[in-house]
Amino acid sequence: MSTVDGNASEIAVAAVARRVESTSTRRPRRSVGARRLRWAGWLFALPAAVMYGVFVLAPLGSTIQYSFYDWNGIGRSTFIGLDNYVRVFTDPDLLAAVVHSFVFILFFSIIPVSGGLVTATLIRDIRSRALSTTARVLLFLPQIIPAAGAAVAWTWIYSNDGALNQLLRAVGLGAVARPWLGDFDWALIAVGIIGTWLSLGLCTVLLLAGIGKIDTSLYEAARLDGAGWWRELFSVTLPGLRAEIGVCVTITTIAALASFDVVFLATQGGPGKSTTVPGVEIYLLGFTQNRVGLASALAIVLMLLVLLVVGPIQRLFRERS
Amino acid sequence: MKTSIGARIPGIALLLAAMLFCIFPIVSMLSAALQPQGTIPQGISWPSDPHWENFAAAFTAVNFGNLLGSSTIYVLGVVPVAVLISTMAGYAIAQLRIPGGRVFYILLLIGLTLPVEVIVIPLYYQLRGMGLLDSYFALILPLIGINMPFAVFWMRAHFAGIPGELSEAANMDGAGPWTAFTRIQLPLSIPAIASLSLLLFLSTWNQFLLAIVLVQDPEKRTASVALQSFVGKYGSDLVLLNAGALLIMIPTIIIFLILQRYFVRALLQGSVKG
């Protein structure tokens, strides 16, 4: 998820583009020969369909299947119905993982989108081209580096001798200094802030693009009416960015619920289980504890959670009424 | 648009703070990486005598040459194939209007929100069954498949914006779908293909979860996995660790700085397409 890794930024596009196709018009029917040609067209789609089928749909089917079995990955498997699912919803560690991923929505999504909104407005108001380009490049940098790099950087900042404690001691708050990622109360927030760092630039850049499309006469009109910065933000900028905000919220929310890279690399879910998320638990259960069935049930729950959360977000931001 | 300088100062200060927040971890790493080896760095402090040679030591410690090589193999294995077959599929759905294309497309959209954690366990057993585990193919093949939803989605959106009359005119001139595709459609699609390639490059280069599960061989690591094993080995040597981490991050940072405009444009195109 250095990305809100590559993958997440890819999903970016989904939401907005979906709107277009509903408006595209159907063309009239064509002749029989043309229809045969249309079937031949499958030759173009076939390689993509095969790769997707073999390496995404087939494993997805297997995950669903595994989730109903008790299997250690080697020996015989036993059908146990919904027991794995019951376990997911009653095991305190696994429930905690789900709760943490929802806490991450605040850090990966809500804070970066609000922050990105403010930052994008500020960049737009800047007259200096050099400063605005520098700002865009710097803000976007976290999006580019591998999550492992982000984890190394932040683990060092949060460590006992790291820059955060140095800063706190410098301003006389030495008493609160601590190894942040090792602290049961603070580790979750500390990891969340790494997520904020990763998402902020992506949101800023996407929202900046949206602001560029808002009719400047709207701003002029607002100024003539004596609107201040806040009024302008709520009456012109926010309504004009509805679709872009939807995209940002969608990608970053998926990144929060499905987080793995940063959490695994920074804390492995620890200390204890205080920062664990479903992704980390799936990996640990599936590959270090050989509880393939349980891991698969958790995976399916994760998939459904993403759909349950993203669906309403899509509807909320879809069309301006 | 006249605002007094005084009114703009808080805004600029806020923006500078945001920029500082983004660059801070990198500066903190650089400061640690330049300390004398064997010392324990304390927070951020610019060394009076920066030890740039630490990067040379890290270069050997992470086996950087090998790492660049294997990462390049993954990128070359994934990106061209994924781009080609997704372009063909996007063309088939949007322009050739293949029967059942809509169902296929909806199936692909489902994959768009699917976290990779959901399929990583069966993928492991599947590739083990194919005897591919630990080979370059163990990562290349699944990555091509996993990128299909986004890539086809991207290319379909592009081809949907090209008037169908163009293919029909080519048809009348006796060009088959393949000729129309290579001669007319592909040249028109270069910008869309370029931005797609950039995004796929980035996600392949930075791939982590699939890489740690499917490829155990340290000679065939991606950058992220290399960094992780580096943390395991040198976790206590903060100077070398930070130098190594920076080094591993440098290739993508350089490419980003050179192509920065295109990266941003790639993302923008995505959101503008709507």
In chain A, what residues touch B96 (CB-CB under 8 Å)? 37-38, 41, 44
Residue A162 belongs to domain with CATH number:
1.10.3720.10
- From B12, which residue of chain A is nearest by alpha-carbon distance? A122
Same-domain pairing of B28 and B117: no
Q: Which of A167, A206, A302 sits opposite B267 (nearest CB)?
A: A206
**pLDDT > 90? residue B118:** yes
pLDDT at residue A68 greater than cutoff 80? yes
CA A102 to chain centre: 11
Q: How confident is the model at residue B73 (pLDDT cuts 50, 70, 90)?
A: very high
Mean per-residue pLDDT over chain A, rounded: 85
Cα angle for residues A78, A80, A81 (degrees, 5° grid): 135
Whether A148 is in a domain gets the answer yes
Query: Are A243 and A321 contacting, i.e. CB atoms less than 8 angstroms apart?
Result: no
Which of A61-75, A274-288, B75-89, B234-248 has the lowest average pLDDT?
B234-248
Mean local confidence (pLDDT), B65-84: 93
Give the confidence band of A218 by pLDDT, cuts at 50, 70, 90: confident
A&B contacts, CB < 8 Å: 354
Residue A184 in tokens: 């049961």
Supply the CATH number for residue B209's domain.
1.10.3720.10
CB contact A297 to B (< 8 Å): no
Percent of chain B clearing pLDDT 90 (strictly above): 32
The DSSP line for B188-250 is HTHHHHHHHHHHHHHHHHT--HHHHHH---GGG--HHHHHHHHHHHHTT-HHHHHHHHHHHHH
Distance from CA of A217 to the nearest CA of B (A): 11
Query: Is the domain of B41 the same as that of B80?
Result: no
Q: What is the DSSP letter of A41?
A: T
Q: What pLDDT sits at residue B252? A: 86
Q: Choose among B42, B109, B245: nearest Cβ to A166.
A: B42
Mean per-residue pLDDT for B159-179?
A: 77
Residue B273 reports pLDDT greater than 60: no
| pLDDT (mean) for A134-155 | 88
Q: Hey, are the CB atoms on B203 and A260 less than 8 Å from each other?
A: no
Per the CB < 8 A criterion, the answer to whether A298 and A281 are in contact is yes
pTM: 0.87
Q: Is the model's pLDDT at B116 over the cut of 60? A: yes
Suggest the residue from B23, B35, B121 to mutate for an interface test with chain A (most A CBs closer than 10 A): B121
Q: In A, residues 75-114, which contact B (CB 8 Å cutoff)?
A: none
Residues B92 and B31 reside in one and the same domain: no
| CA-based nearest residue in chain A for residue B256 | A144
Nearest to A156 by CA among A165, A147, A168: A165
User: Chain B window 232-271: which residues touch A at a Cβ cutoff of 8 Å?
Assistant: 238, 241-242, 245-246, 248-249, 252-253, 256-257, 260, 263-264, 267-268, 270-271
User: Has residue A307 been placed in a domain?
Assistant: yes
Torsion B29-B54-B252-B13 (CA) sign: positive
CA-to-CA distance for A86 and A204, rounded, in angstroms?
41
CA angle (A64 as vertex; A298, B74 as ends), nearest 5: 85
B153:A13 CB<8 A: yes
CB distance B153–A260 less than 8 Å? no
Asked whether residue A18 is domain-assigned, the answer is: no
pLDDT computed for residue A237 by the predictor? 87
Q: Does B80 lie at the interface with A, CB-CB under 8 angstroms?
A: no
Q: Are A48 and B185 in contact (CB under 8 A)?
A: no
Torsion, Cα B241 B242 B243 B246, to 10 degrees, reads 120
Q: Domain limits at B81?
A: 61-272
pLDDT at residue B12 in the model: 85
Give residue B3's pLDDT band: very low, low, confident or very high (50, 70, 90): low
Q: Inspect the interface and report whether the beta carbons of A140 and B242 lie closer than 8 Å.
A: no
According to the model, what pLDDT value does residue A281 have?
A: 96
**pLDDT for the residue A8:** 42
User: What pLDDT is recorded for position A132?
Assistant: 82
Q: How many domains, chain B? A: 2
B63 to chain A, any CB pair closer than 8 A? The answer is: no
Q: Note whether A51 and B145 are within 8 A (CB).
A: yes
Residue range B74-97: mean pLDDT, rounded: 93
Question: A145: which chain B residues are within 8 Å (Cβ-Cβ)?
Answer: 206, 249, 252-253
- Return mean pLDDT, chain B: 85
Percent of chain A with pLDDT over 70: 88
Amino acid at site A152: V
Looking at residue A18, its amino acid is R
Question: Over 90: is that where the pLDDT of A5 sits?
Answer: no
Q: Which of chain B's residues have a Cβ under 8 Å away from the Cβ of A5?
A: 203, 206
Give contacts of A 20-59 with B, CB under 8 A. 20-21, 24, 27, 35, 37-42, 44-45, 47-49, 51-59
**Residues B38 and B98 occupy one common structural domain:** no
Partner B contacted by A213 (CB < 8 A): yes
Across the interface, which of B88, B117, B157 has its CB nearest the CB of A44?
B88
Is A134's CB within 8 Å of B19's CB?
yes
**Contact across the interface for B12 and A283, Cβ inside 8 Å:** no
Pair (B179, B46) in one structural domain: no
Task: Give residue B88's pLDDT.
Answer: 93
Which candidate from B97, B148, B268 shows the least CB-CB separation from A52? B148
CB contact under 8 A, B142 and A55: yes
Query: Nearest CA to A136 among B273, B202, B23, B1?
Result: B23
B9 shares contact with chain A (CB less than 8 Å):
no
Residue B98 and residue B80 in one domain: yes
Q: Do B209 and A16 touch (CB under 8 A)?
A: no
CA nearest to B126 within chain A: A59
Confidence of residue A37 (pLDDT cuts 50, 70, 90): low
Judge whether B201 and B75 are in contact, CB under 8 Å. Answer: yes
Q: Do A126 and B148 count as a contact with CB atoms less than 8 A apart?
A: no
B99, B118, B245: residue with CB nearest A299: B118
Asked if this assembly's ipTM is beyond 0.85, the reply is yes
B148 & B171 share domain? yes
Claim to verify: residue B118 and residue B43 sit in the same structural domain: no
Total count of domains within chain A: 1
A21 in a domain, yes or no?
A: no
pLDDT classification of B10: cutoffs 50, 70, 90: confident
Question: What residues form DSSP beta bridges with A70?
Answer: A78
Taking only residues 169 to 208 of chain A, the set having a beta carbon closer than 8 angstroms to any beta carbon of chain B reads 197, 200-202, 204-206
**Two structure tokens written together for A114:** 């609000």
Q: What average pLDDT does range B96-123 have in this prediction?
A: 91
**Sign of torsion over alpha carbons A46, A48, A49, A54:** positive
Is A169 part of any domain? yes
Q: B32 with B15, same domain?
A: yes
* Residue A173 contacts residue B49 (beta carbons within 8 Å): no
Contacts of residue A83, defined as CB under 8 A and 6 or more positions apart, other chains included, come to A70
Peptide bond into A312 cis (omega under 30): no
Say if A259 is an interface residue toward chain B (CB within 8 Å). no
B19 touching chain A per CB within 8 A: yes
Is A267 at the interface with chain B, CB within 8 A?
A: no
Residue B31 sits in the same domain as residue B140: no
Choose among B72, B141, B209: nearest CA to A6. Answer: B209
- The model's pLDDT over B21-58, given as tens digits with 9 standing for 90+, comes to 999 999 999 988 888 887 778 878 877 788 888 888 88
Which residue's entry shows tokens 């080519």? B170
* Phi and psi angles of residue A69, each rounded to the nearest 5 degrees, phi first: -120, 155
**Does A134 score more than 90 pLDDT?**
no
Q: B39 and B175: one domain?
A: no
> How far B49 CA sits from the closest chain A CA (Å)?
20
Does residue A62 sit within a domain? no
Q: Which of A73-82, B142-151, B229-238 shows the highest mean pLDDT? A: B142-151
Domain endpoint, select from B57, B76, B96: B57
Q: Kindly report, residue by residue over A187-201, the tens digit of the pLDDT.
A: 999 999 999 999 998
Give the residue numbers spanning the domain of A252.
6-10+87-317
Regarding whether B37 and B67 lie in a shared domain, the answer is no
